[in-house]
Structure 1
């Protein structure tokens, strides 16, 4: 299940904390946008938030087939910052039985660490028994679940060991049920239905804010379904004979895809975000950046450009942000180079090869072959091109002068000095000069023909440098 769990983790923490990873960022104040299942009373009062998550998918099996349903979600934790006060009169909570007196503060600095108010999250899993398909066909199952409210205090001391404050973490009680049923749709083909319902009782649902409701929600709710003695059908690309039955499946807030080993179809992930079948985590991804729609290299470079004050604010959020910053502080050029995109072998579009995108890193050296190499060889590179009466070749320096239909990216490079990497023709016999920028600190990537560091200009958009010197060399 390792391949499955890695994808589940990426889905679970999608959007948990987004760049610039600071609590003052608007997008980090409005989190919990994926897979939220809110209390039924609040959902009815708000009129816009769901109170149920439902998955329906098809499987092949018989009465002896066994199905394991594993729902999971994040539970939001309210974290407040407390400071030790000397005067009981200033304390929000007076001391009792020798305990210190506390007052709530927006933030607290202790030595080099800063602590701020924040909403953390903890993983929760709903324990369900493995069920036989035969018994589900006879009668649906309904299983209640609940999680108790908790309040924990983490003391904070300075280097000298003096108690300076504390973090108070509060979890609300949660309550709900899971409904599982099955129905036959064709010979040896069945539709399994799983519903997760949030029934957490609320006293004042209509006046509850969304932040307060999130404390009682099942956030990033998902379900892993495993079958023994049967196989799942793809919900994205079902057999033609089952296309209508698959289209009739009703999914609410969940998107079922096949996961795990592509040679087997015994595991399905009902995800709160849309994926292809058999999603994978890029092997060069060093860890979670909480934004699977972004690329590791981009986010890592952005983090490295943050100021010391911004990084301090980032570590004040929670331990996941602190671990992320520690991991990206000194990755070194080798790791950044591996994260950089490169061309890989092209394979036909197949939903079975979908991926949760964490990076565009190359798989290995053997796959770094241009998928168009055979076509490119049919159009050999030009040895030189004549510009302003001068023959220019690969390795020569030129100044860029974008013109004609140049876009804003071309215009931004106007006047820069570049080195010609190659001179190429397309299949319409248009000549293109590929260059790398001399001021690009990663221009070696351009010489390796990697994207983003290799640019194309027409012969009329480049200006040879030191024309008189070239003429004396007899190049005119």
Structure 2
């Protein structure tokens, strides 16, 4: 097994899947306006969050691993290319400068037409590996340990007159993780194998950190929006929802925890898989952005989902496979363990004993453990529910537009919404 930069042909095959992952996991509606080349992403929707192992034992709807299983028929000399991608949290602290040369940390710094706020950002990290099928089958397979050291940098802030007004300090904490890959040949007349890929966060964790500073220390040592790209140099993967009859039992035996694998290559090809915490259909694709469209569109038949993304399936979805899925922060709930994708999902949910559906009005109470500074400004505001969403771990989320938002019609047309858990809203008594 070797860890290396992928060859151009592998990069080209992964390009399509990366675009989809960027749209639904990294970007979505998190950036306003949408900027494709952005190097950092405000961590507002913590989807695919793998926390440090000490944190995951606290029983608070958090976990430190993802477990992917899918079927493949590799060629005799096939090589598996694997790319683990995630956002690494980076805390941006805002300091105000004083006349005596000292600095003080502040929630925000107002400079003319600019407001610089303290927040958690995310930078894209990649871990790449190449392994032959023989290496995957032998013993316990292959293991790739990775680490990122703590990093801190600073940037002076000047006011409109060019004078020093403060400083931005960005810090990343040290993180560690492990990628485990293995394969097992299955009985039968075909060259069928079950591929297993496990991602673990092995970062050190001291619970006292969170008690002292809130949510940021957890994010700083977590892998955010974690997902995998898997590519075969020779051979093909089998669809989890549209496999041939002879492979149905083997598909049903696959275990997928906190993630779901789909075919992600071009239509007609089955050599690339995207395994992510968002449930998509096979062959999702990002549509070209029309002039003036600030958000990414992942489309099937030109339709939009919440967040401006859609699971594009090159063919009709399999029976029982819902054609619209939520894209939101995972939480607790039943875990998919293989077999066909979940059946049709309810379009309403009970909140405080009252049904909430598209069109319902709610009051927002963002949870302190799942918000950033921007969400706190929404506390107590009223909003309209646009849709009820479900994620891969069985949690329910509400896509909403804030009332009195002058851009609400634009956001609604583009499918760009804010997302809240059901315990972060209260139904309004006058909801019609």
Which residue pairs with 2:144 in the alignment? 143
User: Secondary structure of the residue that 1:13 maps to in structure 2?
Assistant: helix
Question: What is the aligned counterpart of 1:288 among 282, 290, 295?
Answer: 295
- Tell me: CA distance 1:142–1:74, structure 2 relative to 1, closer, same or farther (3 Å): same
Are positions 1:4 and 2:9 aligned together? no
Which residue pairs with 1:123 in the alignment? 124
Which residue pairs with 1:242 in the alignment? 247
Are positions 1:73 and 2:86 aligned together? yes
CA contact (8 A) 1:14 1:290 kept: no
- Tell me: CA distance 1:227–1:221, structure 2 relative to 1, closer, same or farther (3 Å): same
Q: CA offsets, 1:93-146, max 9 Å, x none?
A: xxxxxxx42111111112211111111111111132x10001211121111100
After TM superposition, list the pairs within 5 Å mapping 1:396-435 onto structure 2.
none
- Greater gyration radius: 1
Q: CA deviation at 1:283?
A: 2.6
Unaligned runs of at least 5 residues, structure 1: 22-27, 88-99, 301-346, 358-408, 410-476
Are positions 1:349 and 2:316 aligned together? yes
Which residue pairs with 1:441 in the alignment? none
User: Secondary structure of the residue that 2:57 maps to in structure 1?
Assistant: helix
CA contact (8 A) 1:259 1:278 kept: yes
Which residue pairs with 1:426 in the alignment? none
- Tell me: CA distance 1:106–1:68, structure 2 relative to 1, closer, same or farther (3 Å): same
Separation (CA, whole Å) in 1 of partners of 2:305 and 2:263: 28
User: Secondary structure of the residue that 2:128 maps to in structure 1?
Assistant: coil
- Tell me: CA distance 1:230–1:35, structure 2 relative to 1, closer, same or farther (3 Å): same
- Tell me: CA distance 1:272–1:78, structure 2 relative to 1, closer, same or farther (3 Å): same
- Tell me: CA distance 1:205–1:58, structure 2 relative to 1, closer, same or farther (3 Å): farther
After TM superposition, list the pairs within 5 Å mapping 1:363-382 onto structure 2.
none
RMSD: 3.6
Q: CA deviation at 1:14?
A: 5.2
Q: CA deviation at 1:205?
A: 6.0
Q: CA offsets, 1:321-356, max 9 Å, x none?
A: xxxxxxxxxxxxxxxxxxxxxxxxxx9724599999
Which residue pairs with 1:195 in the alignment? 198
CA contact (8 A) 1:37 1:198 kept: yes
Separation (CA, whole Å) in 2 of partners of 1:121 and 1:348: 34
Q: CA deviation at 1:68?
A: 0.5
User: Secondary structure of the residue that 1:144 maps to in structure 2?
Assistant: strand
Unaligned runs of at least 5 residues, structure 2: 1-11, 35-40, 309-313, 326-358, 360-432
* TM-score (structure 2 length as normaliser): 0.61
Which residue pairs with 2:349 in the alignment? none
CA contact (8 A) 1:60 1:232 kept: yes
Which residue pairs with 1:340 in the alignment? none
Number of residue equivalences: 294
- Tell me: CA distance 1:104–1:296, structure 2 relative to 1, closer, same or farther (3 Å): farther
Separation (CA, whole Å) in 1 of partners of 2:194 and 2:270: 15
Question: What is the aligned counterpart of 2:54 among 41, 46, 70?
Answer: 41
More helix per residue: 1
CA contact (8 A) 2:73 2:235 kept: yes
The structure showing larger relative contact order (alpha-carbon pairs under 8 Å, at least 6 residues apart) is: 2
Which residue pairs with 1:179 in the alignment? 180
Q: CA deviation at 1:45?
A: 2.2
Which residue pairs with 1:204 in the alignment? 207
User: Secondary structure of the residue that 1:219 maps to in structure 2?
Assistant: strand
Q: CA deviation at 1:54?
A: 1.2
